[in-house]
Amino acid sequence: MFDTLAPLLAGHARLVRWDQRGCGRSERRGPYSLARSVADLDAIRSHLGLGQMMLLGHSWGATLALRYALDHPSRVSALVYVSGTGLGWAWRKPFEQNAARRLAPHQARIAELRSGDRTADEDRELATLQWSAEFTDGNGIGHAQQMATPWFGINYECNATIGAELKRVWHEPELAAACRGLAIPVMIIDGVHDARPRWAVDSLEQALPAATRAVLPDAGHLPWLDAPAEFTSVLANFLYGLEDDRLGQEQA
């Protein structure tokens, strides 16, 4: 789903993407855990020979990127936190309510698909129906079908295992205290129309000592698809600012 993001960043940064353990083209082989995901990300950094890297994480990826930065702050030059869910678990129920409202026209078919075993085509159909709620421009099904092409399937075991772990360990008081010591530059990017409540990210923004936040008025959960020009502008300005700061430090 990041295929369309790479061209937007051409000329601004080198973009490295990977299929996480058990997902996409990667083998369906665990263990699945937050710590294992962090270790996998660090293995990629080491393989590429990077002393530091800037991380861009979206949704669950934003959680992973933040956890990595907290665990390995010296290895992260900056963090871009896109459409994350903040600290804690208070976002979940409002999200489910918002998503149910948006999916009301498709609920009968969704219920039918969930009621029994599914073929690969039916699994893809269910995913595209559910993902269509993430968009704001009237082409939700089209965008969701694009995300599902090619179709690699969903690793429900991985999703459930890591989700259950986050519910146990992703607690706001401890995380906020840790974030207050994270001095790297952070750009938080939100879409106003994200079904996940954006207030859930407020405490993260307040805890981070070097955070900037951009709220895009015409975007939902995937802002580079809903509002590509605005998203690219925000990200490019952040990158330029980092470069200016670096040059200033070298000249001082």
Digitized pLDDT (tens) for each residue of the chain, 252 residues in all: 788 888 888 877 888 999 999 999 999 999 999 999 999 999 999 999 999 999 999 999 999 999 999 999 999 999 999 999 999 999 999 999 999 999 999 999 999 999 999 999 999 999 999 999 998 777 889 989 998 999 999 999 999 999 999 999 999 999 999 999 999 999 999 999 999 999 999 999 999 999 999 999 999 999 998 899 999 999 999 988 888 666 666 665
Q: How far apart are CA 17 and CA 47, in angstroms?
A: 13
Q: How far apart are CA 216 and CA 192, in angstroms?
A: 6
- Whole-model pTM? 0.94
The CATH class of 5-91+162-251 is alpha beta
81: left (phi over 0), alpha (psi -120 to 50) or beta: beta
Residue 216, burial from CB neighbour count under 10 angstroms (0-12, 13-18, 19+): buried
Residues 184 and 101: beta-carbon distance below 8 Å: no
